[in-house]
Amino acid sequence: MADTAKPKGGGTARTGSRRRTRKDSTPDIADEQPKTLLDYYRQMLLIRRFEERTAQAYTQARIGGYCHLNLGEEATVVGLMTALQERDYLFTNYREHGYALGKGIHPRRVMAELYGRSTGVSKGWGGSMHMFDTEARLLGGYGIVGGQLPLAIGAALAVSYRGGDEVVMCQMGDGTTNIGAFHESLNIAALWNLPVVFVVINNFTGMGTTVEKSSAEPDLYKRGSAYRMEGVRVDGQDVLAVRNAAADLVERARAEQQPFLLEAVSYRLKGHSVVDPAKYRTSEQSEEAKANDPLAAFETRLTEAGILTDELKQEIAESVREEVTDAADFAENSPHPEVSTLFDYTYATPVPNESSRMPADPVFAE
């Protein structure tokens, strides 16, 4: 269920309406193994319940700093992550909790990181926006809009230079497509034939401004045409469609050693962050987002197909609830980082004359 823009792409008329992908090529669940479908459903439900618990903890002041949730984007997250091989690298923006879970990082470690505890995936120093795990090959979590793109290019260049067969996936929001790093990174990736798949999550609103009001070319998947890069748009509400489109581009990037651009159209159920009331949305837009809830839609499809029974649904729900509760309890009871470790991760290797002065220490030793 994807539209494709070839490198030669031409212009399109600009309208104020929201753009959707074609509905006539929705993947048939009859072609899938029930076990696979149920696994996708459980992953989506885990992300939903994990993010809901995160929002609760944030309002209780257990989580500090900024906090951005994947609520409403579960199908996109699961579809993208199942398209990657374990050896592939992932760079994300600050809305990355679900991606961390999808990359195989234990919910305990993700929640502990949100709580700022030493048992977290980044030992409590990264928080919500800066998760990093070399073992899972999740190389961030970046709070600066577009900050991950040049670094993803560097990783892809390293893969190419070493003759590896890994692929780099670089996820971003729709607002990122308007900054310089986006264009510079796509240009270099195309020039150097790098194995990277750029993924734009188009949730219609870059923070508080619609795509149509901020982008002269609101069909974001066509932006790769300026660099002779093939672009594809997919319905981000359909986990199977996202998986198929992403898997195709990932494997083509691996085999052909060239970059691709994927746009996943995916509603954001809540505001930009936990504390954003999203008053820039009309009531009709909010209702439209709820009506396109990917978890509810997938649950309905599985139920109608006889794959998800009431008993199985309750069993999965209880299992997920226990897992999320366990993650929150683990985070709550984990220790905070020791103050003495404040400078432990400033540099990857020792640096001469590195400062280790604590905030209360005198500038000059007596």
Q: How many CA atoms lie within 13 A of 174 on its CB side?
A: 30
Any long-range contacts for 289-296 (C-beta under 8 Å, 24+ apart)? 289/72, 292/237, 292/267, 293/72, 293/267, 293/269, 294/44, 294/72, 294/73, 294/74, 294/75, 294/76, 294/236, 294/237, 294/238, 294/239, 294/266, 294/267, 295/44, 295/45, 295/48, 295/74, 295/75
Q: What is the pLDDT of residue 8?
A: 43
At residue 1, the pLDDT reads: 57
Q: Give the pLDDT of residue 93.
A: 97
| Residue among 262, 235, 238 nearest 250 (CA) | 262
pLDDT at 25: 64
35-334: CATH class: alpha beta
Give 10-residue mean pLDDT values along the chain (366 residues).
Answer: 57 38 67 96 98 97 95 97 98 97 98 98 95 96 96 98 97 95 98 98 86 90 96 97 98 98 93 86 84 95 97 98 98 94 85 81 68
